[in-house]
A and B are shown apart, each in its own frame.
Chain A
C-alpha cells in the first residue's frame, strides 16, 4: 500500500475506495447476515418440528395404551402427513399396525407395515416390520406371500425371528420337514441367554425325536 502524506489524503483515499466498492460490500454483508439469520431460523424450525412430532407421538402412545383406536388412527395420519420425514412417523406406523391387529383389521395392518418398509432406513426396524408383515399375511391365510415377503429383505440380526416365523408358516401349510429345519435354524441362531422354551416346544411337537 502506498504511503500517504497527510490525514487529508488518507481520508480521501478511503472515501474513493468506498465509492467504488461500497455497494458490493454492503450487499455481501447483507447476504451474509441473511444467510446466518436464515440458517438459525432453519435450525430452530427443525427443532420446533421435531419437538412437535415428539409431542404428537407421546399423545399417540397414550391413546394406544388407553385403547382409543379412533384417536390413534387420526393421529397417525396427522403425524404421517405433517412429519413424514421424522422418525416418529415410522414408529407411529408400527403402533398403528398393532391397533389394527387388535381390531382384527388385518389389511390395514398390512398397509401400515408396508408404509414402514417404504420409509424406514434403519435396517433393524425394517427387518422387524417385514417380520410382522409376514406374520399378518400368514394369519390371513396368505402363506406363500408371507414367505415371499420374508425372502425379500435381509433378516440381519433378526435371523432367529425370521426362521421361527418361517417354521410357523411351514407348519400351518403341513410342510413338517421344512418347519423342522426352520425351527432348528432358529434354535441355532438364538443366543443362550434368551428364552427358547416356546421354540423348543414347537420343535418337540413335530415329534422329531420319535425315531430314536
Chain B
C-alpha cells in the first residue's frame, strides 16, 4: 500500500498535491496587503499616508478644545463644523509634513531615546517610577494604541529637533529690545477738543423723499427678526427639594445621631494674659530682666492686686490690655504654641508662671473651660433638614426625570399630560430670537431646541433638555411663532430720520473739524477755536498707548501723529469719533525714555524691579514675534515644495 503511494507520488499526482499545499501558503497573509489598500486616507503628504483614523482623533481634539474654551456656552448646534474640520486636517497635515521633512533632512529619534523619554514622563509614573500597566491603561483611555502613541511622539520629537534652531536659537539683541521698549512704553502728552455731532443736528433737514430713498436702498435692515414664544415645563432639583415636607424630629434626630462626628466642637478656654515684650533674639540679660519683671507682676497679683488693672497698665499686648488682658474663648490652634500649651494645661482659676513665647513673657490666668462638646441638635437642625430634603429630592428628581422623558415622548403634541402627572406648572417664555433671549431662553440649548425643525416646523415637544449640569430639565413646545417680516416705512420712518440726521451731522462735524485742523496749523489760536465751538480743550497728561481716561480713537490717533520737531511746536491732527463727533488734537511732547512711573506707595526698588520685568516682557514679545514669523516661513516653504493631497470626500 505505502509502496503504491510512493510510486505514484513521483508522478503527476505528487505535483498536484504539492501545488495544492503551496498555493495556500504562498497566499497566506496576502489579504492583509489587500486590506491595507482599502484603509481610508484623510490626506497624503508626498508619499506619507495619513489614515482617516488619525483625522478623526484630531477632529475630536479640536471639538473638545472648543468645548473647553467655551465652557457652559458651548452649543454643538452653533459649532461651525466645516471650520473645525478644516483646522483639524490642517493641523494634522502640518504635523505630518514637519515630521516627514525632519526625517528627510536626516534627523533621527532612536528607540532608546524614545523609550527613555516615555519612561521619564510623569504621567506614566507610579511612585516616581515608570509603570507599564499605567502606561497601557492611560493610553487606552485616550483611545491610542502604544504603537500609535510612540509614532506620534516620535513625530513630535523630530519636529522639535527640526525647529530647535528657529525656536530655541532665537535671540533678541540689546539694541532691538531697547528700541522696542522706547516704542512700546512711549508716552505722549496732548490736548484734545471734541466737536460733538449733536451741535449740528438742529440745522439739518431731512425730507420724506430722503427717508423713502434710504428705506428702499436698505430694505433688509428693516426686517424684524424671527421670534418664538414657547411653553415649557421645568423639573428642577432645587424646586423639588423645597416641596419635600419636613420630616418629624425623630427622623432628623436619627440623622443627627448618624453624623455625630461632623458636629463635634473642640474644647475652648477663656484666659486673660499680661505680656512683657522681649524680642525673639534678645540677649540673655534682656530676657532675664523681662522674666524678673513678669515674675514681679505675678507676685503683685498673688499679693492681691487686680489682674485687670495690672494688665491695663503693664501689658505690651495693647489689643487685650484695654480689656484687662481678656482674650475671650479660643480653641487649640488659634494661639502661639507655647502659650496654648500653657493655657491648656492649667486648671481653672490658676495664675501661671511667666511663659516664654516668641513675643515675650506671658502671665496667664485661666478663667473658664468649655469642655469639648457636640453641637446641640437645635443648632444643626436647619442643616440636617436641608440635607434631608436634598437627598430625598435627588431620588424623586431622577424618578420624575425618567417619567418626564417618557411622557413627553409618548404625547409629543402636548405638555399638559406630563405637567399634570408630575405636578408641574406650564410656564410661558418671553419672545426670543435664535441668538438672544432672557429667562429660560438665555440658555443656548433652549434656543437651539426651539428653532429646531422637529419643534418649530413639526410642532412637537422638544426632548428633555438638561440644564445646569443636569440639575434642571426643561421640555418645551412652540406657543407662538413670529416669522421675520418687512416693516412698513411708517413704522420705521422716525428711526430712519434719526439715522440720517446723525449721519449728516457727523459729516458736517468732520468737515468743520478738518477746517479747524487746517486753521490751527496755519496758526489760529487754540483758545479762539475753543470759543468758536463752545467747547474746551482737555489735557491728556503724559499717557501711554494703553492708558485709559482718553477716548480710544483720540489716543490712538495721538500715537500715530508725527512727533513735534521741538518743544513748543505742537503737531495738530484730527480724528472722527465713533459717535459721529470729531476731535482736534494738539500733540505737545513725546517721551521715549520708556521709564516706569512710580506709583504711590512704591519704593525705588519696586520701580527697578518693575523696569526689569518690563524689559523681560519686551524681550519675550520681540522674540516670539520673530519666532512666529520664522516658523510660518519654514512651514510655508515646506508646503510649497511638498505635494499635499487632502481627500475631502473622506472627511
A-side residues, CB < 8 A to B, are 47, 50-51, 54-55, 57-58, 61, 64-65, 86-88, 90-91, 93-95, 97-98, 101-102, 104, 106, 109, 116, 122-125, 127-128, 131-132, 135-136, 138-139, 156-158, 160-161, 164, 168, 172, 190-191, 194-195, 198, 201-202, 204-205, 207-210, 212
Contact = CB atoms under 8 A, between A and B. Distances in A.
B304 interface: no
Contacts of A135: 173, 176
B476 to A, nearest CB: 40
Closest 4 CB pairs of A and B: A207-B562, A94-B165, A94-B169, A210-B562
A209 B556 CA distance: 11
A91 B165 contact: yes
Given A161-B630, A198-B625, A210-B562, A136 B164 contact: no
A88 to B, nearest CB: 7
B629 A161 contact: yes
B128 interface: no
B110 interface: yes
Interface stretch (B180-188, B226-234, B422-430, B454-462): B180-188
Interface residues of B, number: 50
A90 B560 contact: no
Contacts of A125: 165-166, 634
Nearest to B160: A61
User: For chain A, what secondary structure do more than half of its interface residues adopt (helix, strand, loop), or is it mixed?
Assistant: helix
Nearest to B112: A51
B164 A91 contact: yes
Given A95-B165, A104-B174, A122-B105, A158 B559 contact: no
B171 A97 contact: yes
Contacts of A57: 161, 164
B89 interface: no
A88 B158 CA distance: 12
A209 B560 contact: yes
B373 interface: no
Contacts of A58: 113
Given A61-B164, A139-B174, A201-B183, 11 more contacts: A86-B106, A91-B161, A124-B638, A139-B173, A157-B632, A157-B636, A194-B632, A198-B625, A207-B560, A209-B560, A210-B573
Given A91-B165, A98-B168, A139-B176, A209 B561 contact: yes
B170 A98 contact: yes
A161 B626 contact: yes
Given A54-B107, A124-B634, A136-B173, A90 B165 contact: yes
A171 to B, nearest CB: 8
Contacts of A190: 629
Given A98-B171, A139-B173, A157-B636, A51 B108 contact: yes
Contact of A194 (B113, B183, B560, B628): B628
A6 to B, nearest CB: 20
A91 B173 contact: no
B175 interface: yes
B57 interface: no
Given A95-B169, A161-B630, A168 B179 contact: yes
Interface of B: 105-110, 112-113, 161-162, 164-166, 168-176, 179-180, 183-184, 186, 545, 557, 559-563, 571, 573, 621-622, 625-626, 628-630, 632-634, 636-638, 640
Given A97-B169, A194-B629, A47 B637 contact: no
Contacts of A160: 629
Nearest to B573: A210
Nearest to A201: B183
B637 A132 contact: no
A138 B178 CA distance: 14
A139 to B, nearest CB: 4
Nearest to A57: B161
A123 B640 CA distance: 12
A116 B166 CA distance: 12
A190 B630 CA distance: 12
B421 to A, nearest CB: 55
Contact of A87 (B105, B545, B561, B563): B105
A42 B636 CA distance: 35
Given A208-B560, A210-B562, A54 B629 contact: no
A193 B107 CA distance: 30
B371 to A, nearest CB: 60
Contact of A210 (B171, B172, B561, B640): B561
B587 to A, nearest CB: 9
B633 A157 contact: yes
A87 B166 CA distance: 13
A205 B563 CA distance: 8
A93 B169 CA distance: 9
Q: Which of B165, B621, B622 has the most CB of A within 10 A?
A: B165
Contacts of A164: 629
Contacts of B112: 51
A104 B107 CA distance: 30
8 contacts: A54-B113, A94-B169, A102-B171, A109-B171, A157-B640, A158-B630, A195-B625, A209-B557
